[in-house]
Each structure stands twice: as structure tokens, then as C-alpha cells.
Amino acid sequence: MQSMKYFITCCFYNFVYLHMDLQAEKLNILQTILRTTDEGLIMDVKAFLGSRKADWFDELTAEQQSDVLEGLAQADNGETVTHAEAVKLFGKWGLK
């Protein structure tokens, strides 16, 4: 369990670092857009933003994201169950 806490802590710090780096990137992009006289660039950015769909992970709450990352870490560590085991386990609650 200690290794799981370590992993989650590392994920949190990586998230904070990436978030700070993301903020810097957004500022750089914004500055480029503000300085440009290229109308085509503005139209391309507008079209891209209008057609882009959000990543499902980004739509999750922080707690849900943490749960997903924890599950992925568990799977990477081989901490999984077979489909048959899952059906047996959830069958106890009437789920199939």
C-alpha cells in the first residue's frame, strides 16, 4: 500500500508540474495570437477550437481522475482480476 501512496504522490506532483508548464504554454500561445497580423492564423485557431472535442479524462473531477490513475497503476503492477472473478464478485450484489 505504501508504494501506491508513493505513486499517487508522484502523480500529484507531476500533475502540478505539468499544470504549471501548461499555463506557460497557454500564455505563449496567447501572446503569439495577440501579436499576429495573420488573419488566416486567427481563422485556423477559431476553426480548430470550434471543432475540438474535450478529452473524456479532462471532464472528470479530480477525485475521479485520481481513481482512474490508481486503477491504471494497479493494472500496471499486475493487480487485476479476471472477468470471471469480477462477475463472481459483483454477482454477490445482484450485478451481472
The pLDDT tens digits of the residues spanning 4-53 come to 555 555 555 555 555 668 888 889 999 999 999 999 999 999 998 888 78
8 Å CB contact between 81 and 89: yes
Q: Is the pLDDT of residue 87 over 70?
A: yes
Cα 8 from Cα 16, distance rounded (Å): 12
Domain boundaries, the chain: 2-91
The reported pTM is 0.41
SS3 32: helix
Nearest one of 78, 64, 57, 61 to 3, comparing CA atoms? 78
Nearest one of 13, 17, 35, 36 to 25, comparing CA atoms? 17
Cell (9 digits) for 46: 477559431
